[in-house]
A and B are shown apart, each in its own frame.
Chain A
Amino acid sequence: MLAYTGKRLVSLVPILIVVAVVVFFVMHLTPGDPAAVMLGTEASQADIAQLRHQLGLDEPVLAQFVDWLGGVARGDLGTSIFMKMPVSQAIAEHVGPTLSLSILAQLVAAVLALPLGILAAKKRGTATDQMVMGVSLLGISLPSFLLGLFLMLVFAVELRWFPVSGYKPLADGFLEHLRYLVLPALALGSMQAALIARMTRASMLEVLNQGYIEIARAKGLREISVVFKHALRNAFIPIVTVVGQSFALLIGGATVTETVFNIPGLGQLIVNAVERRDYEVIQGVVLVIAALYVVLNLIVDLLYGLIDPRIRHKR
Chain B
Amino acid sequence: MVRYGMVIDLNRCIGCRSCAVICKIHNSLPPGTWWHRVETVGSKEHQTPSGDYPNLTELYLPVPCMHCDNPPCVKVCPVGATWKREDGVVLVDFERCIGCRYCMTACPYGVRQFNWEDKDKAVEKGFKAAGFEGEYVEGYRHGYPIDHRTKDGRLVYTPKRPRGVVEKCTFCVQYIDKGLKPACVRGCPGNARIFGDLDDPNSEISKVLRDGAHTRLLEDLGTEPKVFYLLPMKRAERGEVRYSPELEVKL
A and B part of one assembly:
no
